[in-house]
Amino acid sequence: MVKSEILDELKKYREMDLKYEDGKIFGSMCSNVFPITKKIVEMFLETNLGDPGLFKGTKLLEEKAIKLIGELLNNKNPYGHIVSGGTEANLMVLRCIKNMCKERNEKPIIVLPVTAHFSFEKGRDMMDLNYIYAPIKKDLTVDEKFVKDAVEDYNASAIVGIAGTTEFGTVDNIEELSKIAKDNECYIHVDAAFGGFVIPFLKKKYKFDFSLGVDSITIDPHKMALCPIPAGGIVFKNIGYKKYLITEAPYLTETAQATILGTRVGYGAACTYAILKYYKDKIREIVNVCMENSYYLYKKLKENGFDVIKPTLNIVNILDDDYINTYNKLKEKGYYLSICKNLKALRIVVMPHVKKEHIDALIEVLKEIS
């Protein structure tokens, strides 16, 4: 086959995919990337952070990216990695907790909200961890009183709080959870995979970062920082946590590896560095537009008689007893929303590709269906 034939064939397949700009994707946490990142991807396409001794410049960029994320999260001495996503970030944290417990001869018991992302279930399955799921309150944030009792009663080793839940975009009371962790000398992880690049740019302030003394934070550049996939972020309070993560890697240029993936491309680190260094104000602007559009959607839905939850971040939920049916009908019409687990509700993520005209069109379809 000649090159043009191969590319034409691939193009046909690519054309079967939905495109963010078509305005039909309402359930994804990814979006169109910053245009400059396409050049960066090309430049770093053949890099491998799994063998950092060969890619010293890219490794330095990863360290600088982590430093910039640290600054955003009030941590002057962060240790971490740009990984494949929130799943890998959370798995690394679970591995850290598991190995810490092993060192202390403790059974790993973790208290986490029912709203925790399903990556935690993957971790439980792989690492034989013990979970106590804490319910959520009326405001859809974790019940801190339950967490406190569970930590004390079961002598738990770790707490997980969510800053920007996948389903509702709600922010757990991390300040209170941190106090519980401190009082009981247990580990606290904050999953801010989605909220990490939203919350610091909001007018309303939420405390969720290292200023509270938390041990680790998941924060994904490939979500609201508009970096290309794969770019997840895991940041620990300091380098001290590394010993719980490393595996010997004798035949590589660096003989210890902390990430779950081995061979891993370096463009996520390069893109994260470039975006945080040169486009931070642009993220702020984008977050503000997404929030404005979320309120626009909320208001319009209310005006049209839908039962809607007021958004905390750029996620809007429509309460609907028949939510699965509505979701399927929307899909038939080419509109891709998603559904919640903890409420009978639809979930709309108002990412930067979701414009007001797309919202208007969605509301018309919703009206038609209902």
Find the shortest distance in angstroms from Cβ 162 to ligand PLP: 6
Binding residues for ligand PLP, how many (CB under 6 A)?
15
- Out of 37, 87, 216, 314, name the contact with ligand PLP by CB under 6 A: 87
Burial of 64 (0-12, 13-18, 19+ CB in 10 A): middle
Check: CB of residue 159 under 8 Å from CB of residue 190. no
Shortest Cβ distance from residue 220 to ligand PLP (Å)?
A: 5
Query: Who contacts 226 (Cβ-Cβ below 8 Å, separation ≥6)?
Result: 31, 32, 33, 34, 37, 275, 283, 286, 352
Question: What one-character-per-residue DSSP string does 108-160 give?
Answer: -EEEEETTS-THHHHHHHHHT-EEEEEPB-TTSSB-HHHHHHHHHHHT-SEEE
Locate tokens 């169109």: which residue?
32
272 lies in the binding site for ligand PLP (CB under 6 A): no
Please, what is the minimum distance in Å from the beta carbon of residue 90 to ligand PLP? 6
- Nearest of 86, 114, 314 to residue 218 by alpha carbon: 86
Site string for ligand PLP, 138-177 (x = CB under 6 A): ------------------------x---x-----------
Q: Report in angstroms how near the CB of residue 29 gets to ligand PLP at its nearest.
A: 5
- Choose one: 42-50, 82-90, 240-248, 315-323; the region binding ligand PLP (CB under 6 A): 82-90
Residue 119 engages ligand PLP in binding (rule: CB under 6 A): yes
Residues between 192 and 251 with contacts to ligand PLP, criterion CB under 6 A: 193-194, 218, 220, 232
Confirm if 214 and 186 have CB atoms less than 8 A apart. no
Question: What six digits make up the tokens of 136?
Answer: 């959520």
Dihedral sign from CA coordinates of 62, 64, 68, 74? positive
Dihedral sign for Cα 223, 228, 230, 236, please. Answer: negative
Q: Which stretch binds ligand PLP (CB under 6 A): 34-42, 84-92, 314-322, 333-341?
A: 84-92
Out of 24, 81, 98, 117, the only residue in the binding site for ligand PLP (CB under 6 A) is 117
In the complex, least distance from residue 69 CB atom to ligand PLP, rounded to whole angstroms: 15
Choice from 85, 113, 200, 228 touching ligand PLP (CB under 6 A): 85
For ligand PLP, the binding residue among 62, 143, 191, 209 (CB under 6 A) is 191
Distance (Å, rounded) from C-alpha 142 to C-alpha 129? 20
CB of residue 82 to ligand PLP, shortest distance in Å: 12
Closest distance to ligand PLP from the beta carbon of 124 (Å): 14
- Taking the C-alpha atoms of residue 202 and residue 71, their distance in angstroms, rounded to an integer, is 17
